[in-house]
Structures are given as C-alpha cells and as structure tokens.
A and B are shown apart, each in its own frame.
Chain A
C-alpha cells in the first residue's frame, strides 16, 4: 500500500454497542418466533427489540460520525469503508437472487410441470399451466394443513402500466436527483446539495406511499394476497423486500440530509453520502428487475 501512513489506521476503543446490538437481535428474533406462533406479547417483544436496535444504531453510527468529523479516518480507512460497502451490496444482490431464482424456477419449471404429463393426469386434471397462476388449487384455499376447495383461482395480477410504471419513473428520477445533489456536494454548492437531496428523499417517500396504496388495492379489490399461490408469493416477497430496502434507503438518505444541513461532509471526502447513494442505485436496479420480470413479462 504505497500511500499507507505508518500506524495511522484508526483502531477504535473497546465498544459496548455490539453487545447492545446482540441483545436487540435476541429480543427481535424471539419476539418474531413468539408472534408467528401466536404467543401473547410476541408483538411487544418485537417492539422492544426494535427500540433497542434503533438505540444501538443511533449510538453506533453517532460514534462513527463523530470520529469521521473529527478527522480520525485516513485514506486507508476510507478505502476499507468502500470495500466493505461494496461487498455488503453484493450480499444483498445474492439475497434478491434467491427470490428471483424462485420466481424463474416456478415460471419456467414447476408450474409447467403441474400442467403436463402424469402429474397433471393423476393429481390435478384440467389444471392449465399459465402465468400468472395461484396454482392448481387456487388462491386463499391453500397453504399447509388447510381445507382445500378446488377451482378458486380468482385474483387479478398486477398490471405493469399504472402505479408500477409511475414508480419506475419515480425511482429513475430519484437516481438523477441524487446525482445532481452529489455534483452540488463536489462543487461545494451546499444549496444545490440540500435541495436535490431533499427532493430525492421526497421521491422515496412518494414511491413508498404509492406502493402502500398498491398493496391495499391488491388485498381489498383484486384478491391478490400472499396466499395467492406461486404468483402471490413471489409478487409480495420480491416487491415487499424491495420496499423494505427502499424504506431503509429513504431513512438513510434522510439521515444524510440532516447531516448535510448540519454542514457535514467535504467536497473531497464524503463517503457516507456515496455509500448511501450506492445503496440507492442498487435498490433502483433491483426495481428494474422487478418491473420487467414481476410486473411486465
């Protein structure tokens, strides 16, 4: 490492935040176990876990921000953050890959198999393999251990035009506004930075609002639910996890906005800003995949 300064790599003091994080995870996961098994007070345990988690994040990130602002991080630390964030995003890509894989497997393989040959003749005669589908036994009536009533395959799939297309436009625009904000930061034009960053946050919020509306519509008007077979499961899990990521991204952008308003970041060093914008662009790209493979095709 040619530009490595001897002994300058910042090594933090012992820290209590990680163990707080572990406590949060312990609460959160046991709460989720209780809640999904209908054990009373599971919800409260989840809430407690979330509170501790937020406390930990405030404290931990607060420490990091203070260290960063007081100039403790040198170039090598900056490079570590870059590597770390890149690999984290790669892990996120693989997480979505699992769900996209499930979608492709169902569409290309398992649903067609159900519509042909012995399987079809012996189990579900008359089932036509089409996409979208809720499977041979139809929406809402299936799920492990449930009584089954055949032929209730009634839901409407989500059209690509309409809200999804608008949301695509919103996310693509937000990528542009974020870049304009970044230019402002690099030029030292704080007004441009703050304005366009605020705009990006706003677009994120609008996206989420529209998606919430879309979900509500799906559940109340279209019969499209998590239980709507192969289509419902992949639709909600993919768009749901994406929505979760947009939520996280929007929160991160909002934090960055607050920091910008406080005068943090310098034109030549502002990795936190860049990290969040990498994340935002990643979320954007995932959405394009969703738009093409979940909504459109």
Chain B
C-alpha cells in the first residue's frame, strides 16, 4: 500500500460541520443525500397535507385557488427531484462501492459537489413561495403557454431544474464510472448484485435525458425573456412541442425513479426468502429492455393533446409492451418467495407491500395506456391514483425497505423491529385509504389539480384526506426509528441478515470501515 493512503482511515479530517461540507467519502455523502431526501419528503408532505386539507370538503376553506396551484406544482417538483431521486442516489453512494468491492466512488470530489448543489436548488425552489406572485403554479410539468405567463418564480423553477440536472448528471457519471471501472477482481458484470445493475441502467437514463430537460426549460426561459418563439404558434413554434420534449425526458424519468427501487427489492426479497433471486439474468435483461422501451412511449402522456391516429396506436402498443418486462420482474419476485423459508421483518414487509401495491399501479398504468380509455381518464384523479401507487407504494416503499434493510449495516446498530412494523402497517393502511378512493373519483370524472369539486365527490375526498393525515403522521415513526437506532440501538451483527449474500454483508463489519475495501476482495 502506498503512502498516499495514510488518510484512508479518516485521521486528521475536519470535524463537525466542515466534515460534512468537505467530505469526499461515499458513506458521508450517501448519508447527506438520505437526510436531505428525508427533509424534502417532509417538506413536500406538508404541501400535500395542505392540498388534502383544502380538498377535505367541497368549497374553498383553507387556501386560495392560486395558492392551491402553487401547492400541487411544488409538491410534485419537490417529491420527484428533492425526495425520491436524491434518496436513490444516497443508496447508490452507500451501497455501490461496498457491493462491488471498491474503496470509494470513482470521483470523490465531484461526488461531494453533486450533493452540495442540491441544497442550492432546494432553497431556490422553496424560497420561490415568497417572491411576488408566489411559487410556480402551472404544474410540475411546466407546460406552456401557462408557464410562459406568471412571475419571477417560474424563472427560479427553471434555474432550480438546471441545478438539479447538473447534480444528477454528475452523480450519474460518477456511478456509471464506478460500476464500470471499480469492480473487485472476479466481480464480473453478471455477478453484480441486482441493485448495482439497476443503478447502472438508471445512471445511463439520467445522462441521456436530464440534458434534454435542461434544453427544453432553457427554451422556456428564452421564450419568457429573450424573444424566442419555440412554443408560440404565431412565430411558427408550437406549445405541443414542449410536451413532446418534456415527456421524452419525463417517461424515462419515471423509470429513473423506479429502477433503483426494483434493485432494492431484488436485494431484500432473496434475503428474507433465503433463496437466491429467481431468474437473475432475466431480471438484468428486463431492466435493460425497460430502459430501451422507455424512450419510445412518451406520448402516452399526450393522448388528449392531439396526434395522428397512427402515432396514438404506436404509443399505445409500445406502452403496453413495457408492461411485459415489468411483469417479468413481478413474476421473478414472487417466484423467489415461492417455497422460501420466509420471515417478515420490516424490510421484507415493505418489499412485499411494494410487490402487491406497485403491481396495482402497473395495472392502472396499462388501463391508461389504452388510448380511448385514457382520453376519458386523462387529467383525472385516476392518473393521480396510478402514479401514487407506483411512486409511493413503489419507489418510496422500496426506499423504506432499503433503509430498514441496511440501517444495521450503516450504523452498526439494530432498529426497533416493533416500531418498524408499526410504521409499515400504519403506512399501508393509510396509504390505501388515501389513494384507493382516487381511482373511483377519477373514473367518476373528478379532474386533478382542482381546489374545489362537485358535491358528488365529497365522501371519497373526505376519506382520502383522513388517509393523508394518517399516512403523513405515520412517517414520523420512521424518524423516531432512525434516531433511536443511531442513539441506542442494540449492536448489530456484521452479517445481520443471514440470507443476504452481497459483499457488504459477507466481507465488511457493521458499521463498515471508512473506506470499505482498501484491498479489493477476490470474488469467486
């Protein structure tokens, strides 16, 4: 070992706040990402509770209609870019180097910058509530011409998106490079844990589509201030063009949020079923084909915007096709559990909750993929139900499963199993009270993003609001669990879950050393 590695054990490093600001360590940075995501989850959650409070009864009670629109817009942006995506990157930071037997990420300093750009963007977004005119109010999708109107906050949103994009691209380049170049001897591609595979493909998607988002919000900016006419028909442009470019980013984006979740669940289920993952290779190929197909389905978000019938048919069939690899995955998870010696600790509960509830979201996605049906359901609460089943009981549940699964490894301490289970059951019950009625609301025609509604929708809305507050409060249990675990959890074994077989369990202590593998392990 060389002299340059004297610092490898963390001696003489800055402490206190400066440790976190200057850190180049993948574990520190992973922790930062996860805490940031949690804070954003609570912030976005508060906005959602305000939305639900207003919708508790018909009529206007709590907020003004203008403010309501700001709430839905910022709720979407904060949850997508502030909570789900950073949480997944946090997992990648902690887990990828450990799982492939690397000492750290490939570019540790850039890793730090990827994280420390996020607070800048978050402050930009949140402070936009306080500028004249309030925050952006045109929906998280930023459609023109509405988005071309409106005040200074729309520019703040545009630049926040730019910063988030730069952060994501740098993070993704780091992850791809780490996976391709830092694997331990013998860790061939097809031996990588599935979580690593899903992140490899996610990172590829990020590098491919975040620049496209940056490009199109730049066009919004120049249309707003510098006289261009990209989205103005009077100048030969077209507002619909924005939707095409946005959803060319947007659909891969939803897979960016779900593929790492697939990865986490594919680590958790085998560990608690005490069987190897069923159909590993098919999981890899399914992930790859989802990534490819996700580039050719974007216009399923635009069936009512207008396009030639042939295009509608193409996008309908392509969208349905993407459900095939997704189905392969669900099948493999179930087959992994089949005749396994299963136990149901909290990570497994969340993983099983994921499989059941995400699948409902997948099915409603298929319903929405049918063009004539979608023309009825577009912009109704049915869509809201769909994407919350895939994002909350999908991505977020996988994040919870991962947190409970790896918390003993990360902290060296056990979490409180009772509280964890309580967190799961309360979340799941309230989640369904919150979102299941939205299917009925949507089918009955209640539009989304509307602060007031007809009387006939009153009962289901009241129910959903009760579910929302229950779900929101249940998340505080997670905070308690994590704090308790760090402070006073019982000592965790190195190989906490005996069914788990990736390198971080078999080769590293709990908590792992500062640089996981200074000498790479040999993988057989």
Interface on A for B, CB 8 Å cutoff?
1-2, 4, 6-19, 21-22, 25-26, 29-30, 32-33, 36-37, 60, 72, 76, 79-80, 83-84, 87-88, 90-92, 94-99, 101-102, 105-106, 109-111, 113-114, 123, 133-137, 140, 142-144, 148, 225-227, 229-233, 236-237
Contact = CB atoms under 8 A, between A and B. Distances in A.
B215 to A, nearest CB: 3
B236 A87 contact: no
Contacts of B218: 237
Given A11-B104, A30-B124, A87 B177 contact: yes
B216 interface: yes
B506 interface: no
Contacts of B236: 106, 110-111, 114, 133-136, 229-231
A142 B13 contact: no
A109 B227 contact: no
Given A1-B184, A227-B228, 14 more contacts: A6-B520, A7-B2, A12-B108, A29-B120, A37-B152, A79-B181, A84-B106, A94-B208, A106-B241, A134-B236, A143-B232, A144-B224, A230-B229, A236-B228
8 contacts: A22-B119, A26-B124, A29-B159, A36-B221, A88-B169, A92-B211, A98-B219, A232-B228
B315 to A, nearest CB: 16
A210 to B, nearest CB: 23
A80 B211 contact: no
A87 B21 contact: no
Interface in B106-120: 106-110, 112-113, 116-117, 119-120
Contacts of B8: 11
Contacts of B177: 80, 83-84, 87
Contact of B22 (A16, A26, A79): A16
B155 A37 contact: yes
Interface string B209-245: 1111011101101111111111011111110110011
Interface in B17-56: 18-19, 21-25
Contacts of A136: 233-234, 236
A31 to B, nearest CB: 10
A199 B437 CA distance: 69
A14 B19 contact: yes
B112 A87 contact: no
Q: Which 3 pairs from chain A and chain B are nearest by CB? A: A98-B215, A230-B236, A135-B236
A222 B223 CA distance: 21
Interface of B: 1-2, 4-5, 7-8, 13-14, 18-19, 21-25, 102-104, 106-110, 112-113, 116-117, 119-120, 123-124, 145, 148-149, 152, 155-156, 159-160, 162-163, 166, 169, 172-174, 176-177, 180-185, 207-212, 214-216, 218-219, 221-230, 232-238, 240-241, 244-245, 248, 515, 518-520
Contacts of B102: 9
A67 to B, nearest CB: 9
Contacts of A25: 117, 120, 163, 166
Contacts of A17: 109, 113
Contacts of A134: 235-236
A230 B241 CA distance: 12
Contacts of A79: 181
Contacts of A9: 102-104, 182
A32 B245 CA distance: 24
A246 B183 CA distance: 36
Most chain A CB within a 10 A radius of its CB, from B25, B176, B229: B229
Contacts of B106: 80, 83-84
Given A7-B5, A137-B234, A99 B169 contact: no
A237 B520 contact: no
Nearest to A233: B228
Given A33-B152, A79-B181, A233-B230, A110 B109 contact: no
A140 B227 CA distance: 8
Contacts of B24: 11-15
Nearest to A236: B228
A219 to B, nearest CB: 12
Contacts of A30: 124, 159
B519 A7 contact: yes
A64 B309 CA distance: 55
A133 B237 CA distance: 10
B155 A7 contact: no
A262 B119 CA distance: 39
A135 B234 contact: yes
Contacts of A87: 172-173, 176-177, 207
Given A33-B156, A144-B232, A226 B226 contact: yes
Nearest to B207: A91
A136 B237 CA distance: 10
Nearest to B233: A114
Contacts of A84: 106-107, 173-174, 177
A290 to B, nearest CB: 15
Contacts of A111: 236
Nearest to B110: A18
A105 B241 contact: yes
Nearest to A27: B120
A142 B231 CA distance: 12
A38 to B, nearest CB: 9
Contacts of B117: 21-22, 25
A233 B222 contact: yes
Given A94-B209, A110-B241, A143-B229, A230 B235 contact: yes
A233 B174 CA distance: 34
A116 to B, nearest CB: 13
A115 B2 CA distance: 71
A36 B223 CA distance: 11
Contact of A91 (B145, B211, B238): B211
A189 to B, nearest CB: 32
A102 B219 contact: yes
Contact of A11 (B103, B110, B169, B235): B103
A241 to B, nearest CB: 9
B237 A233 contact: yes
A11 B1 CA distance: 13
B5 A233 contact: no
A15 B22 contact: yes
A144 B154 CA distance: 15
